[in-house]
Amino acid sequence: MCLAVPGKVEEIYEGNDLLKMAKVNFGGVKKDVCVAWIPDVKVGDYVLVHVGFALNKIDEKEAMETLRILREMGELDELSQSEKP
């Protein structure tokens, strides 16, 4: 099953390949995400991310509810484990 995870955009920058990138916070875990497919994205927006690419924006209420459900299911454990050395 493919799963897109919601996260909050904290910073936007230009990546090495001239792609629009962002630091995205997934409930405390921060990742670099390509946001090139969402031209109007801005700091503070919530985005759905799959394999490092933001697919679309969502509202904060939907993002918080989805994160809550993913935490209950243990689906966010994989994100936080990838941050460990």
Give the model's pLDDT for residue 73.
83
Q: In 10 A of CB 6, how many CB atoms?
A: 22
pTM of the full predicted structure?
0.83
In a domain, 83, yes or no: no
In a domain, 64, yes or no: yes
- CATH code for position 29: 2.30.30.140
Inter-CA distances, 19 with 23, 59, 62, 81, Å = 13, 24, 27, 27
Average pLDDT along the chain: 88
Give the model's pLDDT for residue 82.
55
Instruction: Provide the domain limits for residue 30.
Output: 7-78
Give per-residue pLDDT as tens, 6-42.
999 999 999 888 899 999 999 888 999 999 999 999 9
Return the higher-pLDDT residue of 74 and 62. 62
